[in-house]
Amino acid sequence: MFGIRGSANRAQLDGGEGPATPSAPIAPASLIVRDVLKRKAMVSGRVVADAVRCVECGICTYNCPLGIDVRKHVRQAIPISDHACLTCGECVARCPRGTLRFEESSVFTGEPGGSGKR
Amino acid sequence: MTTRYVIVGNGAAGATAAQSIRAHDADADIQIVGAEKHAFYSRPGLAYYLTGQLPEGALFSRSDKELDRAHIKRTVGRVASVDPRAHRIELADGKAMRYDRLLLGVGAKAVRPEVEGIELEGVVTLDSLDDARLILKIARRSKRAVVVGGGITALELAEGLAANGVATRYLMRGDRYWASVLDERESALVEERLGHDGVVLHRNTELAQVIGHKHRMTAVETKDGERFEADMLAVAVGTQVRLELAKEIGLATGRGIFTDDTLVTSEPDIYAAGDAAEVLDPVTGRRSVDSLWSVAIAQGRVAGANMAGGSESCMPRPAPFNVTKLGGVTTTLIGAVGAGGRDGDLIALSRGDSSAWRDQLDGFAVDSDSGANHLRLILSEDRILGAVVMGDQSLSRQLLEVIRDRLDIRDVRDRLLAGQAEVREALTLVLDRVAYAV
């Protein structure tokens, strides 16, 4: 329905910049769907990056409330799957170049993530 | 025997090349020589430093410690001369170094228009961290500023000054912003947002001279004789490659330092990459220059691999691509998007710019808008040649893939023509077809 191959975008979840398709007034049902999706992304999501969009400006790292060096993960093409990451979305929302996005990860299937903080 | 590599320039291309050499040659002796005293920092990030979104310290993305760990040495200094026969360079302070392979990642610098008073104190350009520091220092004591030029840098300067509480005028020589790359609707979107930020736009207005008292500027005068009092003039009319060293060596040059697709210059053992390189595409016979971070990183990687004995090509040229905020609107430019307009604000390529964006390929444009979002696709019979995505960016990732990989869009062409509502599904179909074929 949205995103690409199972990925969810914070702007869409928050209704930030709005969907690309012409939008009718938002119905309460879709608000609930959005909320559910947002919570789902926060619980089961992880932050991944499109390194080619990154210019290493550091806004992500600077705004991470936990001090994770998000920029370094991006440069090394590693998902921000640090166990400390809250998936709060600060870095996703603040990146001026749309480098970061949420991606669903299956925590129960033992999918390999990154090796944590570097 | 240990191979000695010298890299001139600690920008995106140079720093990436150093790390690429290390990845290919564990014993290499690698030396970066750069004129700036700072550790590696994000040049595009300077825009956010100017607006106050970032403190200076956050810009340093690759520390000297990281270099130390990779046993890469960094020397601060200017290269005074290169002797390609003796494989030897000499720095301005007299220090000499020998090399087996040399990389020129010397970048480009802002040019200033030739008008009276352009060297007065208060006239600024944005190339480096030191420039950004100077701009902020002057902005603190300034009430009024004028910006001239075009492209991304002019906007960054206008927004940066406005964010610092300086009343800012932006003088445009033509009737709209960045006419060679953006179409009228796109220019209007950016201009609207600039107005919101308090920047006053003056169309069809050309700088004639800078007026000053003693050494400091006090006003600018336009060709129509209008005078604007100002403490600052920020100039972004384009950049030119730092060619001095290449010319002194006797390398073949044009707008940039000529290289083949493996980034070797006309002199064996001397390579060029990043903003400084003008790269030949052996298939089309055309040369291109870019001032893009992503291209500089990609070329740095290829140059490093080839200096260490590889034979990688940086062609076919990937679709040039940049994503940035234009007047607060997140904008992605991919491939050939030239809108065909003449841009009087730029006399050369600007930062964050690609000569390929101006290409007028045999295609036609489809525009569609929804709310504050805007999408323009340039289509040929069987491919998407270029795209401009403003506002919502959820399509740009798919578009980059489809354009970069030159995917066949014939079976979804009608849906792409139908406008934004159908574009997402059409792109997904194209990408899924490729994914399943693998």
Domains of chain B plus CATH, in order, are 4-108+240-307 (3.50.50.60), 112-237 (3.50.50.60), 322-437 (3.30.390.30)
Q: What is the mean pLDDT of residues B242-269?
A: 97
- Between these two residues, B432 and B310, which has the higher pLDDT value? B310
Check if the beta carbon of residue B317 is closer than 8 Å to that of residue B356. yes
Return the minimum-mean-pLDDT range out of A31-45, B214-228, B403-417. Answer: A31-45
In the predicted model, is pLDDT for residue A5 greater than 60?
no
In chain A, residues with a C-beta closer than 8 Å to the C-beta of B42 are 55-58
> Does the pLDDT value for residue A28 go beyond 50?
yes
Closest CA to B101 of B28, B34, B11: B28
The count of CB pairs under 8 A between chains A and B is 99
The residue among A9 and B58 whose pLDDT is bigger is B58
Does pLDDT of A13 surpass 60? no
Q: Within 10 Å of residue B95's Cβ, how many Cβ atoms? A: 12
Residue A9 and residue B394: Cβ atoms within 8 Å? Answer: yes
Q: Say whether pLDDT at A32 is over 80.
A: no
Q: What is the pLDDT of residue B409?
A: 92
Q: Which of residues 315-334 of B touch A (CB under 8 A)?
A: 321, 323-325, 330, 332
Q: Flag whether residue B371 sits within 8 Å of chain A, measured between CB atoms.
A: yes
Neighbour tally for B197: CB within 10 Å = 15
Residue B358 has pLDDT above 90, yes or no: no
For residue A118, name the pLDDT band (cuts at 50, 70, 90).
very low
Helix (H, G, I), strand (E, B) or coil at B424: helix
Determine the pLDDT at residue A108: 47
Q: What is the mean pLDDT of residues B351-363?
A: 65
ipTM, interface predicted TM-score of the complex: 0.88
Chain A residues whose CB is inside 8 A of the B428 CB are 4
B330–A62: do the CB atoms touch at under 8 Å?
A: no
B298 to chain A: nearest residue by CA?
A52
B55: closest chain A residue by CA: A62
What is the sign, positive or negative, of the torsion defined by CA atoms of B67, B72, B73, B78? negative
| Residue B241 β-bridge partners | B108
If phi over 0 gives left and psi between -120 and 50 gives alpha, with beta otherwise, what is residue B52? left
pLDDT of A35 above 80:
no
Tell me the chain B residues in contact with residue A50 when contact means C-beta distances shorter than 8 Å.
Answer: 397
Please report residues of A whose CB lies closer than 8 A to that of B422.
Answer: none
pTM, to two decimals: 0.86
Interface test with B, best of A2, A17, A57 (most B CBs within 10 A): A57
* Residue A116: predicted pLDDT: 36
In the predicted model, what is the mean pLDDT of residues A35-43? 64
- Any residues with CB less than 8 A from the CB of B177 and at least 6 apart, and which? B150, B155, B187, B190, B191, B194, B345
Q: Where are the alpha helices (DSSP H) in B241-327?
A: 244-249, 293-307
**pLDDT digits over B168-204, tens only?**
999 999 999 998 889 888 899 899 989 999 999 999 9
Band of pLDDT at residue B327, cut at 50, 70 and 90: confident
- Rounded mean pLDDT, B202-225: 97
Going by pLDDT thresholds of 50, 70 and 90, the confidence category of residue B248 is very high
Would you call B44 and A57 a contact, using CB atoms and an 8 Å cutoff? yes
Decide if B300 contacts B15 (C-beta within 8 A): yes
Say if the Cβ atoms of B61 and A12 lie within 8 Å. Answer: no
H or E element in which residue A91 lies: helix A90-94
Per-residue pLDDT band for A20 (boundaries 50, 70, 90) equals very low
Q: Could you give the percent of chain B with pLDDT greater than 70?
A: 95
